[in-house]
Amino acid sequence: MRYESQGGASWELIAERILCIGEATNESGPTDDEWRLCFVTDAHGTWLEGSLHAEARNDALQWLSVRLGCSFEVKLANAPPFRSRVMWPAQLLERPLFEFQVGSLRRLFSRTARQLGFRPVAAVQSVHPAVLEKLCRAN
């Protein structure tokens, strides 16, 4: 699989390197991409991500479905910022993929703050410890 964004980010990934797949939202806002498809590539929590608004999204999901032998359904299209979920493997399905460190008040009022002109907050994002633990056990 190959990904290239208009902003210049690009990567290539083979199915054998994928340990976990999920989707996530952030607070990038309407001019940036806030809905991402994420691929965990090692048990230390390294991941690659690409826009779920990308042109060939459905082709990529179809390729993954065939290659990994499961169906992929995206669910976070209109979710608030800082949400994530595991889409594969099945034993982690629907668990949060990421842990976001954002102030609780900022998290609650992120959309209102953005509407008032405040810049999106940069959250510290890491693969959720429970997901990493399962991935380590599996490897």
Domain hosting 87: range is 2-138
The mean per-residue pLDDT over the stretch 83-103 comes to 93
Q: pLDDT band at residue 105, thresholds of 50, 70 and 90?
A: low
Q: What is the value of pTM for the model shown?
A: 0.83
pLDDT at 31: 47
Q: pLDDT band at residue 38, thresholds of 50, 70 and 90?
A: very high
* 8-22, 39-53, 101-115, 121-135: the lowest-pLDDT one: 101-115
- 3-state secondary structure labels for all residues of the chain: CEEECCCCCEEECCHHHCCEEEEEECCCCCCCCCEEEEEECCCCCCEEEEECCCCCHHHHHHHHHHHHCCCCCCCCCCCCCCCEEEEECHHHCCCCCEEEECCHHHHHCHHHHHHCCCCCCCCEEEECHHHHHHHHHHC
How many domains does the chain divide into?
1
pLDDT at 63: 93
